[in-house]
Amino acid sequence: FRVPEFNIQKVIARRVAQELEAGSTVNLGFGISANVPRILLEEGLHGAVTWVIEQGAVGGVPLLDFAFGCAANADAFMPSPYQFTYFQGA
């Protein structure tokens, strides 16, 4: 995976990454937030957070740009409506 180049988007993504707690499950959106997993990779913290993207991938590393919605090495895939139940603790 490529490391994001240093720019304002990386600064924002790094700040977001600092707020995440190990063991958290995070719903990841498109745009700047999609770079947060790469910040954790860069910091050696891959796996500290479980990513969920609305297209259904749970875990792994979400892909960027045109491939956003897919994930490398995802742990599971679930239909989008079930994600609401997942985040509500059921």
Sheet hosting strand 50-53, strand order edge to edge: 25-28, 50-53, 57-58, 76-77
Amino acid 40: pLDDT:
94
In percent, the amount of the chain with pLDDT more than 70 equals: 99
pLDDT in tens, 35-67: 999 999 999 998 999 999 988 899 999 898 888
Amino acid 90: pLDDT:
60
pTM (2 decimals)?
Answer: 0.83
Amino acid 88: pLDDT:
84
State how far the Cα of 22 lies from the Cα of 6, in Å rounded to an integer. 24
Contact status, residue 56 vs residue 65, Cβ threshold 8 Å: no
- pLDDT for 9 beyond 90: yes
- Rounded to an integer, the average pLDDT of 22-41 is 91
* Domain limits, the chain: 8-87
Query: How do beta strands 71-72 and 61-62 pair?
Result: antiparallel
Cβ contacts of 10-17, under 8 Å, gap ≥ 24 = 10/35, 10/39, 13/38, 13/39, 14/39, 17/43, 17/45
